[in-house]
Amino acid sequence: MNFLLQTIDKKIVHDFGFALTQSKDYINWASDYDTMTIKKHEGLDFSGIKNPDKYIPVGSVDFVSAYLNAFYPNAKKMLEPLNVPDVLFPFAGRDIMNIKTDEDLKQLYKFDEVFAKSMSVIKHPDNGWKHNPNNEMTKLLNLDNYDNCIGFQVSSYVEFLSEWRVFVFNGKILDCRNYLGDFFTYPNPNTIINMVREYKDAPVAYTLDVGVIHGGETVVIECHRFFSCGLYGFNDFYHYPYMLSQEWFEMKNYRE
């Protein structure tokens, strides 16, 4: 496995990049048949890469996106965020819907305030709170921060007591890490298992973010393909490079 690892000002700045260097040491020590190499790369210009199939890019969303767009433009759909997959809506614990048409937009009347995330761009500048102060339909459809909700997944507000990232590879849960809130407020493991079981068309490697809300219910927050993901202490140095490798293979070989 050959990785192309992003540096910024010649330094490895992301936790997932640092974890990759630790995985390299582990794999090269523990495995009798697999080896890892890491080539560091500064910036988003990949014109000097002569054999792009040789490498698995590891870095920021911008870094991986630039590499995919440069060499595998037919696979750019794989850069779209997963958000909450439709099949996991029953686990959301809140009203949630995808706004794809003007008719969908009209259904926003049932939300007092919404959290909106783009269904096409991971780092969309409009991701975040969009607030309807008085819930009047005519006002809602004229608000600047609502009339661009087409192409967004919106959900009603819930307060999370704790938030956790679940790491899944080939349908198997490898770890669960707290990243926000009270780490003694644990999610329900059976609920997480059921989420993973229901997400049958999931990527080969992904993260499932879940939260615990008032009343103790465990709900899905969102999912992410396994690239440019914060690890929050996940340190399975054996599986980690294979997760990156197999998810990259899945991404770059995607065709409409």
Determine the residue type at 146. Y
pLDDT at position 148, please? 66
Is the CB of residue 175 less than 8 Å from the CB of residue 236?
yes
pLDDT at position 127, please? 87
Distance separating alpha carbons of residues 154 and 131, to the nearest angstrom = 11
Place of tokens 């020590």: 29
pLDDT at position 2, please? 95
- Long-range contacts of residues 181-189, Cβ cutoff 8 Å, at least 24 apart: 181/211, 181/212, 185/161, 185/212, 186/162, 186/212, 187/162, 187/211, 187/212, 187/218, 188/216, 188/217, 188/218
What does residue 122 show for φ and ψ, rounded to 5 degrees? -60, -45
Q: Which residues contact 129 (CB under 8 A, 6 or more apart)?
A: 113, 114, 115, 116
- Helix (H) or strand (E) segment spanning residue 209: strand 205-213
- Cβ neighbours of 167 (radius 10 Å): 23
Averages of pLDDT over runs of 10 residues in the chain (256 residues) are: 95 95 90 85 95 96 96 95 97 93 78 84 85 50 58 90 98 97 96 98 97 96 96 94 96 87
pLDDT at position 131, please? 62
Distance separating alpha carbons of residues 112 and 14, to the nearest angstrom = 37
Place of tokens 């709170």: 129
pLDDT at position 147, please? 55
Domain boundaries 159-232, corresponding CATH code: 3.30.470.20
Q: Output the DSSP codes for 96-156.
A: EEEE-SHHHHHGGGG-SEEEEEESS-TT-TT-EEEE-SS--HHHHTT-TTTTT-TTEEEEE
Place of tokens 């993901």: 229
pLDDT at position 178, please? 97
pLDDT at position 143, please? 45
Please state the length of the chain. 256
